[in-house]
Amino acid sequence: MLIGYIRVSTEEQCTLRQKAALQEMKVDKLFTDKKSGKSTDRQALKEMLFFVRDGDTVITESISRIARSTKDLLNIIDTLTQKNVEFISLKESIDTTTPQGKFMLTVFAAMAELERENILQRQKEGIEIAKSQGKYKGKPPIKIDEKLFKSVCARWRNNKITATQAMKELNLKPNTFYRRVKEMNI
């Protein structure tokens, strides 16, 4: 079978370009993730790796769609290889059925990782410049009714409710809850 894998980084991004490229290749089945490639903890990727069988070929529009780090990409390819599954990347013209394709895969994986590192570095530099110009202040703090917060925390401190229950009542995530507890010396 020809298996297509599509990934975009967010729910808002469109998959049509990748989908069209894979449909041109007449893939039999498509797996699509709308999640960052910085991690391999992606539902469709896991499903695809479980689904593929001996003799299948996984096709993706570009290697950056399957992984953003060299290590992750090589681990995914290793998993495919152990299952006797080939890998093709259309953009980079990589085909792991050849020794040259396997070599080029490693080179392009390193380039994809470098690209991601450069994006993160530029983003960090841009934020620093914006901060120095007073244009970036970060995410505004979550507004909390201080009286309600203190009341709920008092019940929590007196073992009348658990921390999880307190967070649920206040609609706060653990890091925000504990940070506010610390800030208020509760």
pLDDT of amino acid 159? 93
pLDDT of amino acid 162? 93
Q: What are phi and psi of 100, to 5 degrees?
A: -65, -40
Residue bearing tokens 């593929």: 52
pLDDT of amino acid 73? 86
Q: What is the mean pLDDT of each run of 10 residues along the chain (186 residues)?
A: 94 91 95 91 96 96 87 89 92 84 80 83 90 82 87 93 93 90 84
pLDDT of amino acid 87? 93
pLDDT of amino acid 74? 84
pTM for this entry: 0.60
pLDDT of amino acid 160? 94
Q: Mind telling me the catalytic residues?
A: 9
As a whole number of angstroms, the distance between CA 1 and CA 173 comes to 44
CATH code that applies to domain 2-118? 3.40.50.1390
Residue bearing tokens 């975009």: 8
Domain ranges of the chain: 2-118, 146-183
pLDDT of amino acid 82? 93
pLDDT of amino acid 79? 94
Q: What is the 3-state secondary structure (H, E, C) of 74-142?
A: HHHHHHHHHCCCEEEECCCCEECCCHHHHHHHHHHHHHHHHHHHHHHHHHHHHHHHHHHCCCCCCCCCC
pLDDT of amino acid 139? 76
